[in-house]
Amino acid sequence: AVEQTLSIIKPNAVAKNAIGAILSRFEAAGLRIIAARMLHLSKEQASAFYAIHQGKPFFDELVDFMTSGPVMVQVLEGQDAIAKNRDIMGATNPAQAAPGTIRADFADSFTENAAHGSDSPETAATEIAFFFPEGVCVRTR
Ligand code: CMP
Q: Is the pLDDT of residue 138 over 80?
A: no
Residue nearest to atom 13 of ligand 1 (CA): 111
Distance 50 CA to ligand 1 centre (A): 10
Q: Which residue numbers are catalytic? A: 116
Distance 112 CA to ligand 1 centre (A): 9
pLDDT bin (cut points 50, 70, 90) of residue 137 is: confident
pLDDT at 136: 87
pLDDT, mean of residues 34-63: 98
CB 71 within 8 A of CB 39: yes
Q: Percent of the chain at pLDDT above 70?
A: 97
- In 3D, which of 92, 82, 81 has the Cα closest to residue 53? 92
Helix (H, G, I), strand (E, B) or coil at 112: coil
**Ligand 1 atom closest to 53 (CA):** 5
For residue 35, list its beta bridge partners.
Answer: 75
pTM (two decimals): 0.96
What ipTM goes with this model?
0.95
Mean of per-residue pLDDT scores for the chain:
96
Q: Is the pLDDT of residue 141 over 60?
A: no
- Binding-site residues for ATP, in ranges, read 10, 58, 86, 92, 103, 113
Distance 8 CA to ligand 1 centre (A): 13
CB 71 within 8 A of CB 11: yes
pLDDT, mean of residues 85-91: 98
Query: What residues line ligand 1, using a CB cutoff of 6 Å?
Result: 53, 58, 62, 92, 110-111, 113, 116
Instruction: Provide the residue type at 34 as one letter.
Output: I
